[in-house]
């Protein structure tokens, strides 16, 4: 098998193998529906381990080039896409953000409450929330997990739950964390009421009211609400839509501002969808260690990234307990169970004490149901299918945006997840577009929700996790039409402009 141009010696061995196979598929040497060599045969042929071949085949599944069939092996995907190219109508990506240089008091709750109230109204077609819809998850598997937990652990209904969570769930979480590149001790894992509670506990452990917390800009409004509730100040750091947080800007902030903690989402940040390169992740962990900076890492979206490298957490490079790892399964496996977890490194004991004091334990039966869900044999194929489904949806949405939104609109191109960030042309305010769309029962999320400043008043976020059918696609086109009309009205006619210049 000849190496492909992209299969460089520096790439991991499994990726070199998957790239070579991808090249054969792209060239037509392997056709749609063809059976791939068995794992054992491929390992013998290439002189690699069985685990390397398995990882290569799973990487092809992530790229929607191969599919596993029970008791039959691996096959070239029946609908294997051609290599990813820029769409015919190229869409520019937003530039690196430029937030205020000073920390800001946080006050976003009023706007957030209004938008989220509309986003959860069943009469409204919503792109306002970054929540996955039930159609993305195999609910039968979750139902079976809950049923088995009820049968096997019904006695837990008569017990008072205590932190840190049942041992089988913490052990299952530790096993799942291997996909993040992390080897975690289950004894240090704390089960929480979701990722936001995990983050809140970590912030409480390392800050006091009035302290400054650094974070991406723009950032998820839920994180701003936590800072607001804890009376913390937000220092927004310039962030690139592709590569994430600017490390030079962060280092400058640490030199000039009294930053007490960093709150970061290195993989598929919300709302930009940015992914920090591995070399930058190593550098960030090293910087945090040198500056003794607590880092709170949100890995909520990591398992939605298209590439295995993109799923690797900052925590995997941490050798001193400087990184506090927070997550949940609400975006990937079971939104309705609402369980999260945290491994707080050096601050594990403090976080556990805070959890006990503030909210105590959870319903053990739900924890056992999550344990069952994490142990089901179909979990990995379900995650690959989820990535493929939302990846296709994102590409469809970008094409609709390119065709229906005003010329000059910029839009992100994330490597996973179900969020797009749009930068509208000058003269078009996202709040005005939100109001116009809402009058037609369509909800979008205007940019000011995602910052302590007004720097993003011409930006908006689209959440594409809910239903995605003809009605939703037409609604997105309609938002684009509204934007074009509003921009046309905002720009003076050519004759008026000419007269003004002459005057």
pLDDT tens-place string over residues 389-404:
999 999 999 999 999 9
Computed on alpha carbons and rounded to an integer, the radius of gyration of the chain in Å comes to 24
Q: Does domain 114-134+384-495 have CATH number 3.90.1150.10?
A: yes
Annotate 228-266 with b (16+ C-beta within 10 A) or e (fewer): bebebbbbbbbbbbbebbbbebbbebbeeeebbbbbbbb
Task: Report, as an integer, the average pLDDT of 308-333.
Answer: 94
Q: How confident is the model at residue 4 (pLDDT cuts 50, 70, 90)?
A: very low
CATH top class, domain 137-375? alpha beta
Both tokens of 13, joined, read: 């061995």
pLDDT at 27 (0 to 100) = 64
| pLDDT over 70 at 386, yes or no | yes
pLDDT at 279 (0 to 100) = 94
Phi first, then psi: give them for residue 8, nearest 5 degrees: -80, 155
Mean pLDDT estimate for the chain:
87
| pLDDT over 50 at 8, yes or no | no
The residue among 395, 438, 451 whose CA lies nearest residue 418 is 395
Calculate the CA 263 to chain-centre distance.
15
Provide the CB-side half-sphere exposure for 122 (13 A, CA): 0
Task: Report, as an integer, the average pLDDT of 372-378.
Answer: 87
SS3 state at 459: strand
Domain residue limits, the chain: 13-76, 114-134+384-495, 137-375
SS3 state at 334: coil
Instruction: Using alpha carbons only, give the angle 102, 289, 201 rounded to the nearest 5 degrees.
Output: 70
Q: Would you state the CATH architecture of domain 13-76?
A: Orthogonal Bundle (1.10)
Task: Report, as an integer, the average pLDDT of 182-204.
Answer: 95
Over residues 53-76, the pLDDT tens digits come to 888 888 888 777 888 876 678 888
């Amino acid at each position: 098998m000849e190496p492909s141009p992209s299969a460089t010696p520096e790439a991991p061995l499994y990726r070199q193998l998957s790239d070579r196979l991808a090249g054969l598929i792209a060239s037509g040497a392997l056709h749609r529906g063809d059976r791939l060599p068995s794992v054992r045969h491929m390992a013998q042929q290439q002189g690699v381990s069985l685990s390397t071949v398995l990882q290569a085949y799973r990487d092809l599944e992530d790229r929607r080039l191969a599919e596993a069939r029970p008791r039959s092996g691996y096959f070239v995907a029946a609908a294997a896409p051609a290599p990813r190219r820029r769409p015919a109508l190229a869409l520019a990506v937003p530039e690196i953000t430029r937030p205020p240089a000073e920390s800001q008091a946080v006050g976003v709750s009023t706007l957030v409450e209004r938008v989220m109230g509309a986003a959860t109204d069943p009469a409204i077609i919503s792109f306002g929330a970054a929540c996955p819809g039930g159609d993305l998850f195999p609910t039968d598997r979750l139902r079976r997990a809950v049923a088995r937990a009820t049968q096997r652990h019904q006695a837990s209904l008569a017990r008072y739950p205590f932190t840190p969570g049942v041992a089988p769930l913490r052990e299952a979480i530790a096993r799942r964390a291997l996909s993040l590149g992390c080897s975690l001790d289950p004894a240090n894992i704390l089960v929480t009421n979701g990722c936001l509670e995990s983050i809140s506990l970590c912030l409480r452990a390392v800050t006091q009211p009035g302290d400054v917390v650094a974070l991406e800009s723009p950032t998820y409004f839920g994180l701003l609400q936590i800072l607001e509730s804890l009376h913390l100040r937000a220092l927004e750091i310039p962030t690139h839509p592709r590569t994430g947080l600017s490390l030079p800007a962060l280092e400058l902030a640490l030199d000039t501002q009294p930053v007490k903690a960093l709150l970061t989402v290195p993989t598929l940040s919300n709302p930009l969808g940015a992914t920090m390169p591995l070399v930058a992740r190593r550098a960030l962990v090293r910087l945090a260690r040198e500056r003794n900076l607590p880092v709170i890492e949100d890995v909520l979206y990591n398992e939605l990234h298209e590439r295995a490298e993109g799923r690797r957490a900052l925590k995997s490079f941490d050798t001193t307990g400087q990184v506090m790892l927070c997550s949940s399964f609400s975006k990937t496996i079971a939104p309705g169970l609402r369980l999260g977890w945290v491994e707080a490194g050096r601050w594990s004991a403090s976080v556990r004490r805070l959890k006990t004091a503030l909210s105590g334990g959870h319903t053990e039966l739900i924890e056992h149901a999550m344990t069952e869900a994490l142990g089901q044999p179909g979990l990995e194929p379900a995650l690959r299918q989820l990535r493929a489904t939302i990846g296709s949806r994102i590409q469809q949405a970008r094409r609709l945006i390119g065709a229906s939104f005003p010329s000059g609109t910029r839009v992100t191109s994330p490597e996973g997840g179900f969020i797009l960030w749009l930068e509208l042309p000058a003269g078009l305010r996202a709040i005005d577009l939100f109001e116009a769309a809402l009058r037609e029962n369509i909800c979008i999320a205007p940019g000011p929700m995602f910052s302590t400043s007004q720097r993003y008043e011409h930006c908006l976020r689209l959440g594409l996790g809910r239903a995605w059918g003809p009605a939703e696609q037409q609604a997105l086109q309609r938002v684009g039409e509204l934007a074009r009309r509003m921009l046309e009205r905002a720009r003076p006619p050519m004759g008026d402009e000419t007269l003004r210049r002459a005057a």
